[in-house]
A and B are shown apart, each in its own frame.
Chain A
Amino acid sequence: MGETSAQVNLADRVIVERVGLRAGDVWLFRGLDMDVPAGRSVALTGPNGSGKSTLLRCLYGMQPPTEGRITAFGTQPDERSAEFRRLVSVLMDDSALFEEFSPRQHLDLLLRSFPGATPSADPVADWLAPAGLDHRADVAAGSLSAGQRRRLLLLGCVARPHRLLLLDEPERALDTAGLDWLAGVIRARTEAGAAVVIASHSERLIDACADDEVNLG
Chain B
Amino acid sequence: MITRFGLLIRLGRGLYRISDAVLITVGLAALASSPFYHLATVRAHLIGSTVAPPFAAPAVLCLGLGLALRSLLRRDFVWQDPAKLTWSDGTEGRIGTIGRRLWGSWAVRFVLVAYATAGGAALFAGSPNWVSAGLAAFVAVAALAVVAARRTASVRIRWVEQLASLILPLVGSLLAVQLLPSSWLWGVAAVALVSAIALLFRSGLPLRPAVASQALRGELVEQYNVRLVRRMSVAFLDLLSLLPGPSTLTWSRLFAGPAIVLRFVLGGVFARRAGLLLSLLLVWAVAVVHLVFPLLSTPWLVGIAGYFAALPFAAVLAKLNQQPGLRRWLGCTDLDLRLTTAGLVVVVMAIWLALVLAFGVPADPQVLLAALLASAAVIRTATRPAFDYGNVGITTTPDGNMVPFGLVVQLVRGPEVLLIGLYVANSSLPPNLKPVVCLAIAAFAFIR
Chain A positions within 8 Å of B, measured between CB atoms, are 82, 85-86, 89-90, 92, 94-102, 104-106, 108-110, 112-115, 117, 119, 137-138, 140, 142, 156, 160
B255 at the interface (CB under 8 A from A): yes
Bound Cα distance A134, B248 (Å): 18
Pairwise interchain contact A156-B329, C-beta atoms closer than 8 A? yes
Residues on the A chain within 8 Å of B257, using CB: 112
- A112 B249 Cβ-Cβ under 8 A: no
Query: Could you show 6 A-B contacts with beta carbons less than 8 Å apart?
Result: A82-B333, A96-B325, A102-B248, A108-B254, A112-B260, A113-B260
Report yes or no: A100 in contact with B249, Cβ–Cβ below 8 A: yes
Instruction: Check if A117 sits within 8 Å of B326, measured CB to CB.
Output: no
**B35 close to A (CB within 8 Å):** no
Rounded to whole angstroms, the CA-CA distance of A101 and B260 in the bound complex is 14
Q: How far is the CB of A8 from the nearest CB of chain B, in Å?
A: 29
Contacts of A113 in B (CB 8 A): 260-261, 264, 329-332
B411 at the interface (CB under 8 A from A): no
CB contacts (< 8 Å) of B254 on chain A: these are 105, 108
Smallest Cβ-Cβ distance to B320: which chain A residue: A98
Chain A hits for B330, CB < 8 A: 109-110, 113
8 Å CB contact of B247 from A85, A100, A108, A160: A100
A106 lies within 8 A of B247 (CB): no
Majority secondary structure of chain A interface residues (helix, strand, loop or mixed)? loop
* Contacting pair A98 B326 (CB below 8 A): yes
| Mask of B256-299 contacts with A, CB within 8 angstroms, 1/0 | 11101100100100010000000000000000000000000000
Cβ-defined contact, B324 with A94, below 8 A: yes
Residues of A within 8 A of B267 (CB): 101, 105
Q: Is the CB of A110 within 8 A of B246?
A: no
Which residues from chain B contact A115 at a C-beta distance below 8 Å? 331
Cβ of B214 under 8 Å from chain A? no
What residues on A are CB-neighbors of B271 within 8 Å? Answer: 100-101
Q: In whole angstroms, how far apart are the Cα atoms of A140 and B324 in the complex? A: 20
B323 at the interface (CB under 8 A from A): yes
Give Cα A95–Cα B324 distance, bound, in whole angstroms: 8
Docked-complex contact A108 and B249, CB < 8 angstroms: no
Number of interface residues of B (CB under 8 A): 27
User: Which residues of chain B come closer than 8 Å to A94, judged between CB atoms?
Assistant: 323-325
Could you tell me which B residues sit within 8 Å of A by CB distance? 246-249, 252-258, 260-261, 264, 267, 271, 323-326, 328-334
Partner of A160, one of B260, B325, B331: B331
Chain A residues with CB under 8 Å of B326's CB are 96-98
Alpha-carbon distance between A138 and B248 when the two chains are bound, in angstroms: 10
- Residue from B247, B252, B255 in contact with A138 in the complex, judged by beta carbons closer than 8 Å: B252
With both beta carbons as reference points, the residue of chain B lying nearest to A108 in the complex is identified as B255
Q: Closest Cβ of chain A: how far from B152's Cβ, in Å?
A: 20
* B248–A92 CB distance below 8 A: no
A105 to B324, CA, bound (A): 19
Kindly list chain B residues whose C-beta atoms are within 8 Å of the C-beta of A104.
252-253
Complex CA gap A99/B326 in Å reads: 10
Q: 8 new A-B pairs (CB below 8 Å) besides A104-B252, A113-B330?
A: A97-B326, A98-B326, A100-B246, A101-B249, A108-B260, A113-B261, A113-B329, A137-B252
Q: How far is the CA of A191 from the CA of B420 in the complex (A)?
A: 57
State in angstroms the CA–CA spacing of A114 and B331 once bound together.
4
Please give me the residue from chain B that is nearest to A120 by CB atom.
Answer: B256
In Å, the complex CA distance between A99 and B254 comes to 16
Docked-complex contact B248 and A105, CB < 8 angstroms: no
Cβ contact of B249, chosen from A82, A89, A102, A137, cutoff 8 A: A102
